[in-house]
Homo-oligomer: A and B are copies of this chain.
């Protein structure tokens, strides 16, 4: 039986070490600014995206030195994710005071400073991916990683999804649009995480497509669970303010389907994710367990 708790603990440490190694250090005139970026990056977090990325690389290749070759890209993913949280929490957006049980970046440092911390982390992700002195896959593959990440994070991915999310508050939206919001706002970066893991490990076309299908399903499960937790968990459990979706009049899975059906849909997405990996051997066991772990957060 695969021990997911032990695995997550070890992998989180790998990611923390990577972030410490590859993240900008506070230095010179820019120290205060870099401190605000590091605050949000190191305030906590499950590191799900980088862990998925590393696990995808290992599922494809036994010979790739994943921790050496893929870790910088995994860290870039976490920079992108963190920037998106900082900007989403801003007063003009979701106006959240708490994130991971701590004051949000703008509460701690001020609003202008938080906008710039987000801008800095977003830009740094691409600096890291293209850095000539930081290890990574071959040049052509690096360029592919950059493109996959920029597409997933951009206007037809995460940024576009956030736009649809905030501009559709208090509106009756069709279920199709809710799916688009989830897929772009949350799903795109999760899919990109396993996609770039596969690319770095030189996955063939079939393997890449399987990883993308897995990522799409896991991303969906993740967002459904997030919707559920916003209803069922306390602020203390979440580390961020609970119940904000209903408060902000956001469309969610529970609002469409009720809690029971929503749970069933989440479990269905987890099964789809696991099915997508049918052609992978036991090296994909962590990916399979990660999908189930995401569902178990609801229980």
Contacts and interface: CB of A to CB of B under 8 A. Distances in A.
A276 interface: no
Interface in A241-256: none
Interface in A94-145: 110-113, 115-116, 118-120, 122-124, 126-127, 129-132, 139-140, 142-144
A69 to B, nearest CB: 16
A150 B167 contact: no
A43 interface: no
A211 B13 CA distance: 44
Contact of A115 (B87, B130, B147, B160): B87
Contacts of A24: 155-156
Interface in A20-69: 24, 29-30, 32-34, 37
A80 to B, nearest CB: 9
Contacts of A159: 33, 116, 119-120, 123
A33 B155 contact: yes
This chain: how many copies in the complex? 2
Interface of A: 24, 29-30, 32-34, 37, 87, 90, 92-93, 110-113, 115-116, 118-120, 122-124, 126-127, 129-132, 139-140, 142-144, 146-147, 150-151, 153-156, 159-160, 162-164, 166-167, 177, 180, 184
10 contacts: A30-B163, A32-B167, A33-B163, A33-B164, A90-B112, A118-B119, A123-B159, A124-B155, A130-B146, A139-B143
Given A92-B110, A116-B163, A146-B146, 17 more contacts: A30-B155, A30-B156, A34-B160, A37-B155, A113-B167, A115-B115, A116-B162, A116-B166, A119-B119, A120-B155, A123-B150, A123-B154, A126-B146, A127-B147, A131-B147, A132-B144, A139-B139
